């Protein structure tokens, strides 16, 4: 069978696509020209699409607004963010406990809106987010609580976040600083954690085999589907180079140039 036929077969049972954002549907503030036709193709073929971002420096509303400004209107249910994954888990497993959050105002507000109490003096646990408002005081306090025995949870494992002209340190790097100081490695919740896979299947109400996850980063977007029946699709329009792919132990089910090519197989 040729590549086209093979990929068509693999995608036949896919009822919903979960799309990464940066490097997958846009780069920074530039929407890829393939994005809107691809989303239309998904709809035309009777499928659904959702977005999932690991970026815990923002919130769901900020992403819905960003998409709106790019001409893409979605319902709140179509936008998923790592913040929701950790908050859902905390509500189920740490209900009534108080958090110290190393995070932006967006992340802190998501916690408050979910009814989780913030405690700056005597918290039950510490949460590390992609805190672009990080201060030495905040990180020192967090390390102190952890040294005193508070468990620590990380929202997303990314080392860096792509920005125009390069990268800035993300939550994984902040967690590495905390580990260097305290010796404690946090547990992460966004992609590629099992928490996220469970969150996505629950949110979509579909079987794993009916879901395809599309993204440009091997260790998050593709790794989240590893060991599951979820189909992983790597797009080469973001950070992964052909050399990185060749050397990677994480192997995507499908590799395409960009979502435009993926649309040809639907
Ligand atoms: Mg990406």
DSSP 8-state class, residue 162: E
- 259 CA from centroid of ligand 1 (Å): 13
CA 24 vs CA 69, 179, 236, 239, 248: distances in Å: 17, 31, 8, 9, 19
- 25 CA from centroid of ligand 1 (Å): 9
Q: Are 31 and 71 in contact (CB under 8 A)?
A: yes
83-188 and 3-54+191-264 share a CATH fold: yes
The model's pLDDT over 25-70, given as tens digits with 9 standing for 90+, comes to 999 889 999 999 999 999 999 999 999 999 999 999 999 999 999 9
Asked whether residue 1 carries a pLDDT value surpassing 80, the answer given is no
- 257 CA from centroid of ligand 1 (Å): 14
4 falls in which pLDDT band (50, 70, 90)? confident
Rounded Cα–Cα distance for residues 144 and 199 (Å): 31
- 119 CA from centroid of ligand 1 (Å): 33
Fold of the CATH domain 3-54+191-264: Rossmann fold (3.40.50)
- 116 CA from centroid of ligand 1 (Å): 29
- 98 CA from centroid of ligand 1 (Å): 32
Asked whether residue 264 carries a pLDDT value surpassing 80, the answer given is yes
- 22 CA from centroid of ligand 1 (Å): 4
- 240 CA from centroid of ligand 1 (Å): 9
Rounded Cα–Cα distance for residues 123 and 4 (Å): 54
- 23 CA from centroid of ligand 1 (Å): 5
For the chain, give every domain's residue range: 3-54+191-264, 83-188
- 216 CA from centroid of ligand 1 (Å): 5
Beta strands at 48-53 and 79-81: parallel, antiparallel or unpaired: parallel
pTM of the predicted protein model: 0.94
- 218 CA from centroid of ligand 1 (Å): 9
Q: Is the dihedral of CA 104, 109, 112, 114 positive or negative?
A: negative
Angle between helices 136-147 and 171-182 (to 10 degrees): 50
- 202 CA from centroid of ligand 1 (Å): 22
Q: Yes or no: is domain 83-188 CATH 3.40.50.1000? A: yes
Of 227, 234, 230, 236, whose CA–CA distance to 257 is shortest? 236
Strands (E), the chain: 16-19, 26-27, 30-31, 48-53, 79-81, 99-102, 125-128, 152-154, 160-163, 166-169, 187-188, 211-215, 231-235, 254-256
The model's pLDDT over 193-241, given as tens digits with 9 standing for 90+, comes to 999 999 999 999 999 999 999 999 999 999 999 999 999 999 999 999 9
DSSP 8-state class, residue 117: P
- What percent of the chain is predicted at pLDDT more than 70? 100
> How many Cα atoms within 13 Å fall on the side-chain side of residue 167?
11
């Amino acid at each position: 069978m040729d590549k086209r036929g093979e990929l068509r077969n693999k995608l036949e049972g896919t009822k919903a696509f979960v799309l990464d954002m940066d490097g997958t549907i846009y780069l920074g503030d530039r929407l890829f020209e393939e994005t809107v036709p691809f989303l239309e193709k998904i709809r035309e073929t009777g499928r659904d699409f959702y977005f999932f971002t690991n970026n815990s420096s923002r919130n769901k509303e900020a992403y819905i607004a960003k998409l709106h400004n790019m001409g893409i209107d979605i319902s709140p249910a179509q936008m998923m963010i790592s913040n929701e994954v950790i908050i859902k888990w905390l509500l189920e497993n740490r209900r009534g406990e108080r958090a110290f959050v190393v995070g932006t105002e967006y992340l802190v507000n998501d916690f408050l809106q979910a009814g989780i109490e913030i405690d700056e003096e005597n918290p039950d646990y510490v949460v590390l987010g992609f805190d672009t408002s990080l201060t030495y005081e905040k990180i020192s306090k967090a390390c102190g609580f952890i040294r005193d025995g508070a468990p620590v949870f990380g929202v997303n494992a990314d080392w860096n976040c792509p920005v125009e002209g390069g990268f800035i340190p993300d939550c994984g790097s902040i967690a590495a600083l905390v580990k260097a100081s305290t010796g404690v490695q946090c547990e992460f919740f966004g992609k590629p954690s099992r928490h996220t896979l469970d969150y996505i299947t629950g949110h979509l109400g579909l079987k794993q085999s009916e879901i395809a996850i599309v993204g440009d980063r091997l260790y998050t977007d593709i790794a989240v589907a590893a060991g599951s029946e979820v189909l992983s699709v790597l797009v080469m329009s973001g950070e992964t180079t052909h050399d990185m792919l060749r050397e990677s132990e994480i192997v995507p089910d499908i590799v395409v140039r960009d979502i435009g090519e993926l649309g040809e197989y639907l």
